[in-house]
């Protein structure tokens, strides 16, 4: 299993505002650099994203249904799977995937429907 463990800082992102609008969180927009910390022990993960004054964290185990929290604090249950080195979770309003590409953490969120938005965030290891 590929290691995601490490600390990362936002390098680039595409369609961030469109994504926030699609999920009804445009007020959450910030230009601050998002930091992501991933702790991994085998199939057990702690995934934390931080901005000054705000932190959002999920603990999960690959291959199991886990209780997770959205960026607005809502709790939900979903299986967390890994296929071809990609972590995948179906959040209530979008599908989330994450993978390592050339030592960068690439996260993609896709909202459903004809007018679905694909939001891509690339973070570099720090």
Q: Could you tell me what percent of the chain has a pLDDT over 70? A: 93
Q: Please determine, for residue 89, whether its predicted confidence score (pLDDT) is greater than 80.
A: yes
Q: What is the pLDDT of residue 13?
A: 93
**Mean pLDDT, rounded, for 60-73:** 91
Residue 1 lies in a domain: no
The mean pLDDT of the chain is 90
Confidence grade of residue 23 (pLDDT, cut at 50, 70, 90): confident
Q: What is the pLDDT of residue 72?
A: 77
Residue 23 lies in a domain: yes
Q: Please determine, for residue 90, whether its predicted confidence score (pLDDT) is greater than 90.
A: yes
**Mean pLDDT, rounded, for 25-32:** 66
Full residue range of the structural domain in which residue 119 is found: 6-125
Q: How many domains does the chain have?
A: 1
Q: What is the pLDDT of residue 68?
A: 95
CATH assignment of the domain containing 25: 2.40.128.20
Residue 39 lies in a domain: yes
Q: Please determine, for residue 75, whether its predicted confidence score (pLDDT) is greater than 90.
A: yes
Select from 30, 12, 113, 15 the least CA-distant residue to 71.
30
Q: What is the pLDDT of residue 24?
A: 80
**Mean pLDDT, rounded, for 52-77:** 90
């Amino acid at each position: 299993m590929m290691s995601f463990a490490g600390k990362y800082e936002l390098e680039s992102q595409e369609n961030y505002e469109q994504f926030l609008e699609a999920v009804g969180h445009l007020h959450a927009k910030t230009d601050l650099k998002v930091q992501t910390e991933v702790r991994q022990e085998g199939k057990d993960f702690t995934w934390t994203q931080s901005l000054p004054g705000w932190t959002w964290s999920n603990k999960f185990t690959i291959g199991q249904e886990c209780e997770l929290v959205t960026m607005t604090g809502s709790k939900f249950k979903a299986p967390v799977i890994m296929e071809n080195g990609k972590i995948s979770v179906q959040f209530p309003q979008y599908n989330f995937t994450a993978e390592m590409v050339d030592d960068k953490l690439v996260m993609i969120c896709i909202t459903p429907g004809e007018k679905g938005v694909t939001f891509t965030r690339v973070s570099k290891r720090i």
